[in-house]
Amino acid sequence: MKPSLKPLREQVIVITGASSGIGLATARAAAEAGARVVLVSRNEPALAEIEQQLGGGDRLLHVAADVGKREDLERVAQQTIERFGGFDTWINNAGSSVWGRLDQVSDEDHHQVMQTNFWGTLYGSTIALAHLRDKGGAILNVGSVESEMALPFHASYSASKHAVKAMTDVLRIEVEQSQLPVSVTLIRPSSTDTLFMDHSKNCLDSAPTFPPPVYAPEVVARAILDAAERPQRDVYIGNAGFMTKLAQNFPALADLARRTFVYNTIQSGRPDSNPEGSLHNDRVGAGGEGQASGGYPGHTLKHSLYTTASQHPVATTAALLLGTATVFSLLGRKRH
């Protein structure tokens, strides 16, 4: 059965990792579009403040929860059902990270990253599916360009996003084979200007930074909400599509790029004011909650033409044809 998704203004949307970054940008955009929004993160005070910033009222709900604990996410689903009668879209966005060579990072840190990123996404996906299998809706899992293109110093994060991709693919196949009216989408952002680095634990000698190009979190938020209205398999943000193809088709070249440019770029040379981040903090983050954008020192892109074109190929083609026709028309007039 082909999923039929509601307009955002008619939806109830659950968003994990909603206290900052991509999650917060998505929550803001969803609320502006008229959706009822459930904000989820570990930081209850931050969520309460964000709820008020978004207007409060009966269209918003916040639930403090650790996505790495199934019982916490079951409570999120139950409170959402009690408040709104159910939900239409569940966005598994929450994530954690540790930077360092494999011989620097402890097993405990690797485990925590996997618990949040992989198990949190698996828990959320299965809980959401149990609710949506009859009524229909969307499950959106936030992967990464690292779902295919692993980065140096980021072993457990890259591994977790590889695992999220595999689990999402299996979930999609099983849903489609069972003819359930549920859309399953993997979102693949590339470098994004959020508080990700501030919240990551860091074992390197300097603060880590993402290789460019870097995109604003609102770019990812728009792509996520587009997939909440129109079923899509994979959504690539910015250069994530190119980097994925590079890793798949030219692995030796991808390795060369990672050994040289990427390896050196990640090590910024700047001091890290909070190397512990919030990896093991069960209640609050490393500061900056309620803030979507981070402090990336370079240029941040506000739009991704690739993402827009891939999500709206017909409209993009029409716009290009119209633009081309206009140019030729103007040129023709000048000749006369």
User: Given pLDDT bands bounded at 50, 70 and 90, which one contains residue 328?
Assistant: low
Least confident of 226-230, 244-248, 308-312: 308-312
On whether residue 328 sits in a domain, the answer given is no
Which string of b and e fits 151-178 if b means at least 16 CB within 10 Å? Answer: bbbbbbbbbbbbbbbebbeebbeebeee
pLDDT of 26 reads 98
Residues 182/227, Cβ–Cβ less than 8 Å: no
Percent of the chain scoring above 90 in pLDDT: 87
Nearest to 311 by CA among 187, 136, 212, 192: 187
Residue 147 lies in a domain: yes
Range of the domain at 46: 8-303
The reply to whether 314 falls in a domain is no
* b/e 263-277 (16+ beta carbons within 10 angstroms → b): eebbbbeeebeebeb
Contact 186, 233 (CB under 8 A): yes
Tell me, what amino acid is at 143? G
Distance CA 190, CA 186 (A): 13
Q: Is 22 helix (H, G, I), strand (E, B) or coil?
A: helix
Distance, CA of 105 to CA of 192 (rounded, Å): 24
Q: What are 78-108's pLDDT values in tens digits?
A: 999 999 999 999 999 999 999 999 999 999 9
pLDDT tier, 329 (very low <50, low <70, confident <90, very high otherwise):
low
Indicate the SS3 state at residue 55. coil
| Whether residue 157 lies in the annotated active site | yes
In a domain, 114, yes or no: yes
Is the model's pLDDT at 319 over the cut of 50?
Answer: no
User: Is the pLDDT assigned to residue 187 strictly greater than 90?
Assistant: yes
Residue 153: CATH number of its domain: 3.40.50.720
Domain count, the chain: 1
- Give the lowest-confidence range in 50-59, 144-153, 319-328: 319-328
Residue 37, Ramachandran bin (φ over 0: left; ψ between -120 and 50: alpha; else beta): beta
**Any domain includes 318:** no
Whole-number mean pLDDT of the chain? Answer: 92
User: Is the dihedral angle over the CA atoms 276, 124, 187, 30 positive or is it negative?
Assistant: negative
pLDDT of residue 320: 46
- Listed range (27-31, 253-257, 314-318, 324-328) with the worst mean pLDDT: 324-328
In 3D space, the residue among 97, 150, 284, 307 whose CA is nearest the CA of residue 216 turns out to be 307
Ranking 68-77, 173-182, 265-274, 317-326 by mean pLDDT, the lowest is 317-326
Q: What is the phi-psi region of residue 99: left when phi exceeds 0, alpha when psi lies from -120 to 50, beta otherwise?
A: beta
N-to-C CA span, the chain: 57
Q: Is residue 136 part of a domain?
A: yes
Is 325 within a domain?
A: no
Calpha distance 209→253 (Å, rounded): 22
Range of lowest pLDDT (69-73, 117-121, 270-274): 270-274
The H or E element that residue 92 is part of is strand 89-92
| pLDDT for res 313 | 76
- Give the model confidence (pLDDT) of 244-296 as tens digits: 999 999 999 999 999 999 999 999 999 999 999 999 975 444 556 789 999 89
pLDDT at 134: 95
Q: Is residue 36 part of a domain?
A: yes
Q: What is the pLDDT of residue 333?
A: 61
Read off the pLDDT band of 6 (50, 70, 90).
very high
Q: Which positions ≥6 away from 323 have C-beta within 8 Å?
A: none
| Predicted structure pTM score | 0.91
Contact at 8 Å (CB) between 5 and 229? yes
Q: Is 107 exposed, middle or buried (0-12, 13-18, 19+ CB in 10 A)?
A: exposed
What pLDDT score does 290 carry? 85
User: Please, are residues 232 and 311 in contact by the beta-carbon 8 Å criterion?
Assistant: yes
The single residue of 157, 215, 236, 296 carrying the catalytic annotation is 157
